[in-house]
Amino acid sequence: MLDVETIDSILAKFPQPKGNLIAILHEVQNHYRYLPEEELRYISKRTGVPITQIYSIVNFYNRFSLKPKGKHVICVCLGTACHVKGAEKVINEVKMKLNIDVGETTDDMKYTLEEVRCIGACSLAPAVVVDDTTYGKVTPKEMASILAKYK
């Protein structure tokens, strides 16, 4: 159901919404943990930005999501250094512990698992980012204690 009040309050922060569309989308996603279709259509009408242009932006930047995400987003780096140092085993451990696959969210909406190609922390390989916290030299066994911090 469209939440006009929330979207209007976000839009009110930006006197020139066309020039601040990415910032607006970030705020909407921070509020809902994804970008709901009805809210995007409302933003389109309110700003005069065609919905196709909004979807182009949303699909271009991988930080935006059209699917609900869990409270905690777990990103396992699969860049070259992390891959060589065993990131595949780490991601398999997370899949097993949470009973989800990459790109999925747990039924309780607590966790979303994502793979990324590089987080710029090659010296910490294999690296995992949960929300805004980076964990380095992660082993599959350590994932249980990392996940426990977010229960």
At 103, which CATH number?
Answer: 3.40.30.10
* pLDDT, tens digit (0-9, with 9 covering 90-100), for 77-126: 999 999 999 999 999 999 999 999 999 999 999 999 999 998 999 999 99
The answer to whether residue 76 sits within a structural domain is yes
- For residue 42, the enclosing domain spans 4-60
Residue carrying the six token digits 């609900």:
68
Using a 10 angstrom Cβ sphere, with 0-12 exposed, 13-18 middle and 19 or more buried, the burial of residue 129 is middle
If asked whether residues 8 and 56 sit together in one domain, one would say yes
Task: Please give the angle made by the CA atoms of 12, 17 and 20, to the nearest 5 degrees.
Answer: 110
Specify whether the CB–CB gap between 63 and 122 falls below 8 A. no
Q: What is the longest distance spanned by two Cα atoms in the chain?
A: 51
* pLDDT, tens digit (0-9, with 9 covering 90-100), for 10-64: 999 998 988 899 999 999 999 999 999 999 999 999 999 999 999 999 999 878 9
pTM of the model: 0.79
Question: Where is 39: in which H helix or E strand?
Answer: helix 37-47
Strands (E), 34-139: 72-77, 111-116, 128-130, 133-135
Question: How many domains are there within the chain?
Answer: 2
If asked whether residues 53 and 91 sit together in one domain, one would say no
Structure tokens at 56: 């182009």
